[in-house]
Amino acid sequence: MNELVLKGVPAAGGIASGEAFILDNQEFIVPQRIISAHEADSEVARFEEAIEQTRREIRSLQKKITQDMGIQHAQILDAHLLVLDDPMLREQVTRGIQHDKNAAEYAFIKVMKSYVKTLSQIQDEYLRERTSDVNDIAKRVLKHLMDESKWHDLDNLHSDSAVVAHDLSPSDAVSMFNTRIMAFVTDIGGRTSHTAIIAKSLGVPAVVGLKDATLRITNGDHLIVDGNKGLVIVNPTVPTQELYAKEQSKINASLAKLGDLKELPAQTIDGKRVFILANLELSSEIKNARKFGAEGVGLYRTEFLYMNRLDLPSEEEQYQAYKQVAEAVAPLPLTIRTLDLGGDKFISSVQIPKDMSPFLGVRAIRFCLERPDIFKTQLRAILRASVHGRIQMMYPMISGIGELRRANAILNDVRRSLRDEHIVFDEQMKIGVMIEVPSAVMTADMLAKEAGFFSIGTNDLIQYTLAVDRVNEKIAHLYEPAHPAVLRMIQRTIDAGHNEGIHVGLCGEMASDPVLAFLLLGLGLDELSMSPSSILTVKKMVRGLRFSDVVRVTQEAMGLSTGQEVEEYVSAQLRRLVPNL
């Protein structure tokens, strides 16, 4: 077998090897097969057996999920059991076999398709959303009725697999938590897609935007996934495998050395202190944040609590979750970001319009302002948790002062009702604003007067400033964090915040890249928040530099005219100033 090297977008660092597992999310085509009259009874029996097998499979899956993730996640499959037990389904499929002489799989899929069609036309949002459950159950049953080798889905995943998919939604990625996935490889997606961010939190390398990896990789191929360089090596030769084994041991050795920095402050040689915090998607990541010496959590993306389930998390459930994270992080600070749904993150329990341009549509704070019922439940839970640690809260995607005031008005309502109910909360909890939309940057002077702090979300700020969709691999080369426009946006935000005496942090992915973090330090940020695994490298860089050099190089870089020139210049200076980074 010849070695094949595919180049994509590096999304989560690290090197891993494993067997390719092609995740097939496509619609399944079930050819019509007419049976003879004497086959009817055995086809009905085959269908009944498939239903029974599926029921057993779902029950055992529920048991496993309950053990790994808790009962509420297992309940997501209750709806599937209900579909299987539906007498109408049995009756219609049996009729399809006996009267129409269709084979079991075709009779079954015909009925399921009519269910999906009916559901998708229903006005009720909740019922309409159930089409995905019906599709899912259809796949499960079909698997028992058709040649299994044709089916590849997550249930068949075995250890040491590198998942290869056309696309993976953030919720697909989260559902792989606790499985032994070695790496993610996708045809589409960009460096800051939430799937890439989840790969980082699961600690596995990811290469996205490979365009046609699912066509060029075959199930079972041996893959080396190089998440640092964005390469996927298919069926590597022995010399390539040896090269990567060496590279891996070099990386391990330097990571082991970085551990010594854990307890030391992120401070330059001449005494400039910056705070380095962790971004958190799953509460299981707290131990990593601690392991790498995070000085708190600068961004807790709460929407992951809402994913992979059929219902919305209750106030009590959210309160317990936030309290648990706050206590685990205390006495260090925890910044909870309110719900940021839409864009590339969708959930089953609420219908969010799939706009033509989802990142420009009903997303984040816009969704919360449209659904104050959902928003208030979250705010109550956060406020109640605020007495259990050092919690502060921030709103995503604020585009101007009007939105901030509307969000705060809802918050004040919630505060009032808690007071009426004699429920204690931290009256002083800081309320911050994420700066991720150019209009927020241009009005940052006004926002700073009413915000407790700023946190710059560059993943979005870059896409909105440069008009480059963050998940579109076709324009990934245009997504330039060091573009002069982006750097000026950041500079302007920092100045506006500091003029009003508020803290300015940054929690986009660019904080974890040493070259870009160098620039951010030079621009005067107070705090950088990043995926835990990047913390020690950035800290090492900070401790190896003089702030005076950082400011000088950054000012020179600000005079350059393209993102590429900026990156090349800073990279060269950084290599000179901290040669052993």
Q: Are 220 and 149 in contact (CB under 8 A)?
A: no
Closest by Cα among 249, 269, 201, 199 to 227: 199
Among 221, 340, 527, 549, binds ligand PEP (CB under 6 A): 340
Tell the smallest beta-carbon distance from residue 514 to ligand PEP (Å): 18
| Residue 338 touches ligand PEP, criterion: CB under 6 A | no
| Residue 342 touches ligand PEP, criterion: CB under 6 A | no
| Residue 507 touches ligand PEP, criterion: CB under 6 A | yes
Tell the smallest beta-carbon distance from residue 266 to ligand PEP (Å): 19
What is the x/- site pattern for Mg ion, positions 451-490, by CB under 5 A? ------x--x------------------------------
Closest by Cα among 98, 129, 96 to 112: 96
Q: Which amino acid is at 155?
A: D
**Cα(443)–Cα(459) distance, integer angstroms:** 19
Give the range of 161-169, 224-232, 257-265, 456-464 binding ligand PEP by CB under 6 A. Answer: 456-464
Tell the smallest beta-carbon distance from residue 399 to ligand PEP (Å): 13
Give the range of 105-113, 121-129, 458-466, 549-557 binding ligand PEP by CB under 6 A. Answer: 458-466
| Residue 480 touches ligand PEP, criterion: CB under 6 A | no
Q: Tokens 């590198």 — which residue?
A: 162
**Cα(390)–Cα(335) distance, integer angstroms:** 8
Beta bridge partners of 278: 297, 530
| 480 contact choice in Mg ion, ligand PEP, none (CB below 5 to 8 Å, kind-dependent) | none
Q: Are 142 and 120 in contact (CB under 8 A)?
A: no
Tell the smallest beta-carbon distance from residue 299 to ligand PEP (Å): 6
Among 508, 524, 532, 563, binds ligand PEP (CB under 6 A): 508
To the query of whether residue 368 is one of the catalytic residues in this protein, the response is: no
Size, binding site for ligand PEP by CB under 6 A: 10
Burial of 416 (0-12, 13-18, 19+ CB in 10 A): exposed
| 43 contact choice in Mg ion, ligand PEP, none (CB below 5 to 8 Å, kind-dependent) | none
Q: Tokens 């989560």 — which residue?
A: 12
State which H helix or E strand residue 408 sits in: helix 401-420
Three-class DSSP category at 256? helix
Q: How far is CA 241 from CA 117, 184, 186, 235, 247, in A?
A: 50, 19, 22, 9, 10
Beta bridge partners of 393: 336, 431
Query: In the range 386-445, which residues lie near ligand PEP by CB under 6 A?
Result: 436
Enter the DSSP assignment of 338.
Answer: P
| Residue 459 touches ligand PEP, criterion: CB under 6 A | yes
Tell the smallest beta-carbon distance from residue 335 to ligand PEP (Å): 11
Query: In the range 228-257, which residues lie near Mg ion by CB under 5 A?
Result: none
Tell the smallest beta-carbon distance from residue 507 to Mg ion (Å): 8
Give the range of 295-303, 347-355, 415-423, 432-440 binding Mg ion by CB under 5 A. Answer: 432-440
**Cα(202)–Cα(83) distance, integer angstroms:** 33
> Nearer Cβ to ligand PEP, position 221 or 340?
340
> Nearer Cβ to ligand PEP, position 392 or 459?
459
| Residue 318 touches ligand PEP, criterion: CB under 6 A | no
Q: Tokens 């000179």 — which residue?
A: 576
Start-to-end C-alpha separation, the chain: 38
Name the catalytic one among 152, 194, 483, 503: 194
Beta bridge partners of 16: 225
| 522 contact choice in ligand PEP, Mg ion, none (CB below 5 to 8 Å, kind-dependent) | none
To the query of whether residue 194 is one of the catalytic residues in this protein, the response is: yes
Q: Are 432 and 450 in contact (CB under 8 A)?
A: no
| Residue 335 touches ligand PEP, criterion: CB under 6 A | no
Tell the smallest beta-carbon distance from residue 459 to ligand PEP (Å): 3
Tell the smallest beta-carbon distance from residue 361 to ligand PEP (Å): 14
| Residue 513 touches ligand PEP, criterion: CB under 6 A | no
Among 102, 175, 399, 458, binds ligand PEP (CB under 6 A): 458
Q: Are 24 and 238 in contact (CB under 8 A)?
A: no
Burial of 79 (0-12, 13-18, 19+ CB in 10 A): middle
Three-class DSSP category at 41? helix
Query: In the range 290-309, which residues lie near ligand PEP by CB under 6 A?
Result: 299, 301
> Nearer Cβ to ligand PEP, position 108 or 375?
375
Q: Tokens 């979300």 — which residue?
A: 457
Q: Could you tell me the strand order of the sheet in which 181-186 lies? A: 4-7, 231-234, 222-226, 15-23, 161-165, 181-186, 206-208, 9-12
* Positions marked active-site: 194, 507
Binding residues for ligand PEP (CB under 6 A) = 299, 301, 340, 436, 457-460, 507-508
State the residues that interact with Mg ion by CB under 5 A.
436, 457, 460
